[in-house]
Amino acid sequence: MGPATRPEATARRNAMKSGLLLTTLALGIALSLGAAAATPEQDLASARPEIDKANADWVPALQAGDVRKAAEPFADDAMFILGSGKTYVGRAAIEAFLKERLIPGTKITGGTIQQEGIQVIRDGLIYEWGHGDSTKVDASGKSQTSSGLYLTVWQRGASGHWQIIRNLNF
């Protein structure tokens, strides 16, 4: 095979560039599909520490009056739904609701969150359920304990961190 003419050399270079572009594109698609599809076990393993931390931090944050810390696990567009059906949409509204509960003179003196179950529903989405209680003392010294069931929906965000997108209290 003799030396290539200028048009043949240009055609070969263009063919190589096209082949390289297609190979790179195919590799990128394959890698992104592989990275996006976590197994349920992987999702649970990555979510559990964040869920456990959020649950452990909830009551101490409320006891300290730190509604920002209490609302930290919620997504910006999360929904907090009470048993009455009243719904607070967005982290800012959830913070405001929590602040309302901590009216001056009221102190959260205790509480628990008891997780009863957790289930991966699909890639990047987890249901958590259980029951919780909290005890508060008002300015007159009257103590009141409330308790109920909860269902929380966690979603893996674009950053890879897990956030609450729905929280239902019954």
Residue 59 has pLDDT above 90, yes or no: yes
CB proximity list for 113: less than 8 A, separation 6 or greater: 55, 58, 59, 130, 132, 150
Q: Is residue 155 part of a domain?
A: yes
Q: Provide mean pLDDT across the span 46-61.
A: 98
Residue 8 corresponds to which amino acid?
E
In a domain, 98, yes or no: yes
Question: Domain for residue 8, yes or no?
Answer: no
d(CA 147, CA 130): 11
> What's the rounded Cα separation, in Å, for the pair 107 and 151?
25
- The region of weakest confidence among 2-6, 62-66, 74-78, 107-111 is 2-6
CATH of the domain at 48: 3.10.450.50
Confirm whether 18 is domain-assigned: no
Q: To the nearest whole number, what is the mean pLDDT of the chain?
A: 86
pLDDT digits (tens, 9 = 90+) for 124-169: 999 999 999 999 999 999 999 999 999 999 999 999 999 999 999 9
CA distance 135 to 11: 78
Instruction: Convert the pLDDT of each residue in 98-110 to its tens digit.
Output: 999 888 889 999 9
pLDDT exceeds 80 at position 11: no
Q: What pTM, to 2 d.p., does this model score?
A: 0.77
153 three-class SS = strand
Residue 84, pLDDT score: 95
Q: Residue 67 has what pLDDT? A: 96
Output the DSSP codes for 7-66.
HHHHHHHHHHHHHHHHHHHHHHHHHHHHHH---HHHHHHHHHHHHHHHHHHHHHHHHTT-
Q: Is residue 22 part of a domain?
A: no
The parent domain of residue 118 ranges over 40-169
Number of domains in the chain: 1
Give the residues across from 87 on adjacent strands: 81
Alpha-carbon gap, residue 153 to 163, rounded angstroms: 8
pLDDT attached to residue 2: 54
